[in-house]
Amino acid sequence: MDPARKARLDGDFSELYRAHLRDVYSYAYYRIGNHHDAEDLTEQTFLQAYRHFERAQAESDGRPLRPWLIRIAHNLAANLYRDRSRRPQTPIEDTTALKTQHTTEDLVEGRDELARILAGIKELPDERREALIMRFSLGMDNREIARAMGKSDGATKVLLHRAIKQLEGIVTAP
């Protein structure tokens, strides 16, 4: 490859990396449930992305590459589970600080509810959990989620709807 083209590719990849490191890490963290594995998964995702970046860029036709990155993370996470044949072993650590300050009572109540939601998310089937992570942690729209999960827009919409319904059922169950 000619050096100028290589330099341009590397520059584009650095930009992608800087723009989406947090997305990939957040996805990995909520998908796996602990910081240690999330770090490994994030690193592996970017290494794999680097290897296939040129082709992905050529095939993207100008579309954003975030769904492609998340898809890599998704596949690696699936492999990790297959290899270890396990569900997340460590509970999701409490990373969520309430942004708005209320009375102590509100705060405790809010934390309890967040903890219930997080526990509920863990009970969801993998696909529904992933769709929720992509939507609410990464802020991806239906089309991006569909591309990342290899589904149609319609199927993704239904998936998200069912995931939220199921989560509501879990959280409000006595």
Partner 1 sequence: MLRMALAPVEPPAGLRTRVETTLQELTDLAVDELETWELSSMRDPRNWARPVLATAVGATAGTALVVLRVRQQHRRRQAAARNPLDLAQRTLRAASAEARRLVRR
Interface positions with partner 1 (CB under 8 A)? 10, 13, 17, 21-23, 25-26, 29-30, 35, 38-39, 42-43, 46-47, 50, 95-96, 98-99, 113-114, 117-118, 121, 132-133, 136-138, 164, 167
The structure tokens listed for 73 are 């993370």
Report the residue number, 109 or 152, with the smaller CB distance to partner 1. 109
Q: CA torsion 157→161→167→171, rounded to 10°?
A: 140
Q: C-beta of 135: minimal distance to partner 1 in Å? A: 8
Q: What is the DSSP string of 46-59?
A: HHHHHHHHHHHHHH
Return the number of the residue (46 or 68) whose C-beta is nearest partner 1: 46
- Cβ neighbours of residue 102 closer than 8 Å, sequence gap 6 or more: 110
Of 107 and 152, the one with the shorter C-beta distance to partner 1 is 107
